[in-house]
Amino acid sequence: MEKAEAERVKEKNLTVPQVKKLLEELGEENLDQFQRRVLDYAAKFSKVDAETAEMLVEKLVGEFGLEEAEAVQIVNCMPTSIEELRIFLGGGRKIIESSKLEAIVKLLNEYRLK
C-alpha cells in the first residue's frame, strides 16, 4: 500500500473564529503570506470568540437540528433577524417553525460581540 493511501485526512467545518484561533496559535512569524491574509480576514470578521463559536455550532446542531455546515455559516454571519436567518436555511425551501427561528436569533443575540 502506498503511503498516500495509508494517510487519511480528516475534514471538518470550521467557523471563522476557529480559523483565527488556529492561525494565532501557529504564531504570525510562522505564517506564509496567504495565511496572514486569512488571519487578517478572520480577525476583522469574527463575530464571537472561537469557544463561543464552537458552542453555538453544537447548540444549533444538537438543539435545533440544523446541519453542521448550516450552523457554521450561521455562526460566521450571526444574522440579526429571522429574514436574514432564512437565507442560511435554504432560502425558505426548508420549513422551520417561526418560534424555532426566533429562538435561534435570540441565542445568537445572547453571544454576539458588542
**What is the model's pTM?**
0.83
Q: Is pLDDT at 88 greater than 50 in this prediction?
A: yes
Classified as helix, coil or strand, 26 is: helix
Q: Grid coordinates in use for 12?
A: 471538518
Rounded to an integer, what distance in angstroms lies between the CA atom of residue 61 and that of residue 68? Answer: 6
- 12-69 pLDDT, tens per residue? 899 999 999 999 999 989 999 999 999 999 999 999 999 999 999 999 999 999 999 9
SS (H, E, C) 28-90: HHHCCHHHHHHHHHHHHHCCCCHHHHHHHHHHHHHCCCCCHHHHHHHHHHCCCCHHHHHHHCH
- List, in order of start, the domains of the chain with CATH numbers: 7-45 (no CATH), 50-111 (1.10.150)
